[in-house]
Amino acid sequence: MQKSTGQRSLFETQPAWVEDDARQGIVATVVLPDGVDKPLDYLVPEALAAAVEPGRRVRVPLGRGNRERLAYCVAVRAGELPQQPLKAVAGVEDDAPLLSPRMLELTQWMSEKWLARRGEVLEAVLPAGVRAIRKRRGVPLLVATGAAAARAPTPAQAKVLAAAAAPATAEALAAQSGASRAVIARLVKTGLLAVAGVADDLAPADGGRPRIVHDRPDALAPAQTRALEAIRAPMRAGRHETIVLFGVTGSGKTEVYLQAVEETVAAGKQAIVLVPEISLTPQTCDRFRARFGRVAVLHSHLTPAERHAQWREIVKGRVSVVVGARSAIFAPTPRLGLVVIDEEHESSFKQATAPRYHARDVAEWIARAEGVPLVLGSATPSLETFARCLAGEWTMCRLPDRVGGSQLPPVITVDLRDPSSRSRGSVTPRLTAGMKWALDAGGQVMLLLNRRGFATHVQCRSCGHTVRCPQCDLALTVHRPGNRGICHGCGLVTRLAHDCPECHAPHPAQRGTGTQRLEEEIRGLFPGARVARMDTDTMRTRGSHERTLDAFRAHEIDILVGTQMIAKGLDFPSVMLVGVVNADAALHLADFRAAERTCQLVTQVAGRSGRGQLGGRVVVQTSTPDHPAIIAAGRHDYEAFVRSELPLREALLYPPFGHIVRIVVRSIDEQAAANWAEHIAARLRQEAAASPAEANDPPTLRVLGPAPAPIARLRDRFRYHVQAMGRDEAQLRDLVRRATATLQTPDKVAWIVDVDPVEML
Ligand code: ADP
Ligand code: ZN
């Protein structure tokens, strides 16, 4: 801190007319979590000088009324004060920085890359529990005192007291007993519950004991050894490198991650392992827990207090391995040694709300900044990743065979257009025969159908009218029981009429098959079999995934019907048949990644079959058996798909050869949405014409639209989109920044900017 110059304190306010030497002082630059996007400068009063530092939050007066706001201090400098007087910081919120200098730098980069407000990014990298708890004193733990009650406790109170036999947070007690916070507060008041320390001292809530123990294999397969060596080399040299494990399902990728993490931990460093979604990848998490006791599993069911406790453990370096979804990349590890992203092609690594960051890019930035390896693994790497390997930027290690010599299952493609494959339902005779073969041999079956509900739409047999959501441009899906029409866009539930709302003809047809109808059809075809269904409708309660998967593993279920939920990361040796009921379901969506996603999904689910001694098969039902995505998945040759798809992307400047910025405009008023989208598109074209890129031939900047978005209306809002595309990322971002900098958004209109979107609907 700067010392006083003698005559007067540095911090004494001077009248503006004093013209002696320039005033000296300390200035803090702060960013508000919302509202004003511009960083603001405040004077740091002497009393607060020691406490104001980058990464802590401070309270600052804002606006004419000088209302106090919480803001993130992002920089502090000492020196000459500016001409115009500054307001002073009013107080300091945190007793230690919440963000390291590196994290602050990261948030700056993120806000530039994804055109997001800095405050929004700062909020996104800190878990809610950390932001909410002032002074971070920890959450009180409550315990039943056993004191005699004046009245006998009510049943609700008794449940809480039973749950409080061991110290637990109020949040945990409420979750366990189902009692409200008021009931718990009352028990504290009456002395039946007492505070017994703070949750701070808790071991990380890692969600329970591992159910399965995977033994460390005595030896790695040669391809695994090569992959591990490729990770070790930069790790030991202390330099950054991105290594992509392109390995078929069951090729031992996870074992390679585990051993790379072992080495990281042995060196006293921490590893972050990202998975698409914790509840869908229980086996991966179990394997990490079984191998390394202190694993912080950051899953979506954690309460803010639990998250906060985890965060503190990680900050202190008491946790060696962090496993979690997208946001776990921000885990504040003090000595990061390795980052792993499993199933790196999954779209869940991109955040769908602002800031719309991609965890893969964030991971690369962090790994580069820390000088540590980044490992990306997948049986079906994204085209973005593939291209960077082909360009020699990243290192690709191939693991083409399953460990233990089991073969990838043969795939039978059933052409749904062929009259001989007709059936009454959605399961063809070939698929039925395959299922029978597997069940007769004592095996299990998995059926993938990526549409939930009973029927995908209701259509009048007389006038052809399709029943749509009144708020969205989407057909209602039929769900049973109760003949409900549910909108998969906004969640609206309505009772379906028994006649056509247009022409009143009776009994409109329920067309298209969802997982509910499929389950019913399967029960009819295989009356003796035990059938279960896994989709978001059946998996609503905590633990339901684990229960169903445990039952499937214990072979209490013969046939598992499900959506893409069943396609990921599961390893069940007795699955002998995997059936893909409709491989084309997502192929014709208005999304340039439709083919890539289809190939990935079919390849991934096919890989669930034949993992055990009994072998297995895959049956893929499709109306487009000649599509490169289907052919490649049928041959377990994902790379063939990549090679056929890349030139198509290049010709159109789509990723990975170009970048896209998608702007979506929404309004309750269709004309207002269309006009504003038109205005933005015009501004973009103006700027593009003024850009030096315009001189390139062919042009390297393009503006598409405006056009109604593929989902043209959602929750009563009309949606229009504009896409700006460019070969050069920085140039494209600049274009969008310039075009949108001074826009005054009209009333009733909202719009968002999505850089490198993965969602195109
Ligand atoms: P992937 O992540 O590529 O799907 P895993 O690492 O899960 O592959 O390996 C598939 C199965 O093979 C797992 O049950 C794993 O325990 C086992 N396994 C992996 N590596 C070896 C090895 N070197 N020797 C024996 N079994 C192995
Ligand atoms: Zn709707």
SS (H, E, C) 42-70: EECCHHHCCCCCCCCEEEEEECCCCEEEE
User: Is the model's pLDDT at 299 over the cut of 80?
Assistant: no
Residue 198: both structure tokens together: 């703070």
Nearest Cα to 670, choosing from 715, 722, 704, 720? 720
For residue 708, the surrounding DSSP H or E stretch is strand 701-714
Q: Which residue has the higher pLDDT, 739 or 8?
A: 739
Establish whether residue 220 lines the binding site of ligand 1, counting it when its CB lies within 6 angstroms of any ligand atom.
Answer: yes
Beta pairing class for 659-667 and 717-726: antiparallel
Cβ-based neighbour number of residue 130 at 10 Å: 19
pLDDT at 135: 44
Q: Which residue has the higher pLDDT, 48 or 215?
A: 48
Cβ-based neighbour number of residue 371 at 10 Å: 15
Range with the poorest average pLDDT among 199-213, 288-302, 426-440: 199-213
> 534-558, pLDDT tens digit by residue?
988 887 776 787 888 889 999 999 9
User: Is the model's pLDDT at 201 over the cut of 50?
Assistant: no
> 268-278, pLDDT tens digit by residue?
999 999 999 87
Q: Where are the alpha helices (DSSP H) in 143-268?
A: 155-163, 170-177, 181-189, 222-237, 253-266
pLDDT at 298: 84
Share of the chain above pLDDT 90, in %: 58
Burial class (CB in 10 A: 0-12, 13-18, 19+), 195: exposed
Confidence of residue 137 (pLDDT cuts 50, 70, 90): low
Distance (Å, rounded) from C-alpha 535 to C-alpha 549?
12
Q: How far is the CA of 590 from the centre of ligand 2 (A)?
A: 19
Query: Which mutation among 255, 340, 406 tests ligand 1's pocket best, with the greatest number of atoms within 8 A of CB?
Result: 255
For 225, which DSSP code?
H
Distance (Å, rounded) from C-alpha 234 to C-alpha 224?
17
Establish whether residue 668 lines the binding site of ligand 1, counting it when its CB lies within 6 angstroms of any ligand atom.
Answer: no
Ligand number nearest to the C-alpha of 714 = 2
Q: Which atom of ligand 1 is nearest to the CA of 399?
A: 3
- Cis link prior to 706 (omega < 30° from 0)? yes
Ligand number nearest to the C-alpha of 467 = 2
Query: Which mutation among 403, 605, 636 tests ligand 1's pocket best, with the greatest number of atoms within 8 A of CB?
Result: 403
Ligand number nearest to the C-alpha of 711 = 2
Burial class (CB in 10 A: 0-12, 13-18, 19+), 690: exposed
User: Is the model's pLDDT at 569 over the cut of 70?
Assistant: no
The reported pTM is 0.86
Closest residue by CA, ligand 1 atom 8: 252
The 3-class secondary structure across 281-302, one letter per residue, is CHHHHHHHHHHCCCEEEECCCC
Q: Which atom of ligand 1 is nearest to the CA of 251?
A: 3
User: Is the model's pLDDT at 757 over the cut of 80?
Assistant: yes
Q: Which atom of ligand 1 is nearest to the CA of 283?
A: 7
Contact 270, 340 (CB under 8 A): no
pLDDT at 1: 36
Establish whether residue 217 lines the binding site of ligand 1, counting it when its CB lies within 6 angstroms of any ligand atom.
Answer: yes
Establish whether residue 247 lines the binding site of ligand 1, counting it when its CB lies within 6 angstroms of any ligand atom.
Answer: yes
Ligand number nearest to the C-alpha of 492 = 2
**What is the average per-residue pLDDT within 636-647?**
95
Q: How far is the CA of 523 from the centre of ligand 1 (A)?
A: 34
Q: Which atom of ligand 1 is nearest to the CA of 214?
A: 16
Q: Which atom of ligand 1 is nearest to the CA of 257?
A: 6
**What is the average per-residue pLDDT within 228-245?**
97
Nearest Cα to 268, choosing from 231, 235, 309, 221? 235
Establish whether residue 76 lines the binding site of ligand 1, counting it when its CB lies within 6 angstroms of any ligand atom.
Answer: no
Closest residue by CA, ligand 1 atom 9: 252
E strands, 480-589, where? Answer: 484-486, 493-495, 509-511, 531-534, 559-562, 575-580
Candidate ranges 210-219, 451-460, 670-679; pick with highest mean pLDDT: 670-679
Establish whether residue 249 lines the binding site of ligand 1, counting it when its CB lies within 6 angstroms of any ligand atom.
Answer: yes
Establish whether residue 404 lines the binding site of ligand 1, counting it when its CB lies within 6 angstroms of any ligand atom.
Answer: yes
Q: What is each CA distance from 521 to 126, 428, 447, 518, in whole angstroms?
A: 47, 11, 12, 5
Establish whether residue 403 lines the binding site of ligand 1, counting it when its CB lies within 6 angstroms of any ligand atom.
Answer: yes
Establish whether residue 281 lines the binding site of ligand 1, counting it when its CB lies within 6 angstroms of any ligand atom.
Answer: no
Vertex 481, ends 478 and 482: CA angle to 5°? 80
pLDDT at 122: 95
Closest residue by CA, ligand 1 atom 25: 217
Q: How far is the CA of 470 from the centre of ligand 2 (A)?
A: 7
Establish whether residue 259 lines the binding site of ligand 1, counting it when its CB lies within 6 angstroms of any ligand atom.
Answer: no
* Phi-psi sector, 660: left (phi>0), alpha (psi -120 to 50), beta: beta
Q: Which atom of ligand 1 is nearest to the CA of 247?
A: 3
Establish whether residue 571 lines the binding site of ligand 1, counting it when its CB lies within 6 angstroms of any ligand atom.
Answer: yes
pLDDT at 330: 96
Nearest Cα to 337, choosing from 356, 317, 352, 353? 317
Confidence of residue 152 (pLDDT cuts 50, 70, 90): confident
Distance (Å, rounded) from C-alpha 731 to C-alpha 470?
41
pLDDT at 489: 86
Residue 508: both structure tokens together: 């409109």
> 357-416, pLDDT tens digit by residue?
999 999 999 999 999 999 999 999 999 999 999 999 999 999 999 888 778 899 999 999
Q: How far is the CA of 441 from the centre of ligand 1 (A)?
A: 25
Q: How far is the CA of 439 from the centre of ligand 1 (A)?
A: 26
pLDDT at 285: 79
Distance (Å, rounded) from C-alpha 185 to C-alpha 228?
53
Q: How far is the CA of 402 from the centre of ligand 1 (A)?
A: 8
Establish whether residue 221 lines the binding site of ligand 1, counting it when its CB lies within 6 angstroms of any ligand atom.
Answer: yes
- Cis link prior to 481 (omega < 30° from 0)? yes
- Cis link prior to 698 (omega < 30° from 0)? yes
User: Is the model's pLDDT at 698 over the cut of 70?
Assistant: no
Range with the poorest average pLDDT among 122-126, 364-368, 406-410, 628-632: 406-410
Q: How far is the CA of 47 from the centre of ligand 1 (A)?
A: 59
Confidence of residue 458 (pLDDT cuts 50, 70, 90): very high
Distance (Å, rounded) from C-alpha 94 to C-alpha 52?
9
User: Is the model's pLDDT at 559 over the cut of 70?
Assistant: yes
Q: How far is the CA of 384 from the centre of ligand 1 (A)?
A: 26
pLDDT at 8: 41
pLDDT at 359: 97
Q: How far is the CA of 593 from the centre of ligand 2 (A)?
A: 24
Give buried/exposed letters for 38-63 (b at 16+ CB in 10 A, else e): ebbbbbbbeebbebbbbbbbbebebe
> 701-714, pLDDT tens digit by residue?
889 999 999 999 99
Establish whether residue 523 lines the binding site of ligand 1, counting it when its CB lies within 6 angstroms of any ligand atom.
Answer: no
Q: Which residue has the higher pLDDT, 186 or 209?
A: 186
Share of the chain above pLDDT 70, in %: 92
Closest residue by CA, ligand 1 atom 15: 252
pLDDT at 204: 41
Query: Which mutation among 254, 283, 402 tests ligand 1's pocket best, with the greatest number of atoms within 8 A of CB?
Result: 254
pLDDT at 133: 54
User: Is the model's pLDDT at 319 over the cut of 80?
Assistant: yes
User: Is the model's pLDDT at 241 over the cut of 80?
Assistant: yes
pLDDT at 430: 94
Q: Which atom of ligand 1 is nearest to the CA of 287?
A: 16
Closest residue by CA, ligand 1 atom 26: 217
Task: Find where tokens 């006791």 sit.
Answer: 293
User: Residue 540: CB partners within 8 Å, gap ≥ 6?
Assistant: none
Q: How far is the CA of 753 from the centre of ligand 2 (A)?
A: 23
Distance (Å, rounded) from C-alpha 89 to C-alpha 27?
9
Q: How far is the CA of 256 from the centre of ligand 1 (A)?
A: 9
User: Is the model's pLDDT at 4 over the cut of 50?
Assistant: no
Q: How far is the CA of 666 from the centre of ligand 2 (A)?
A: 15
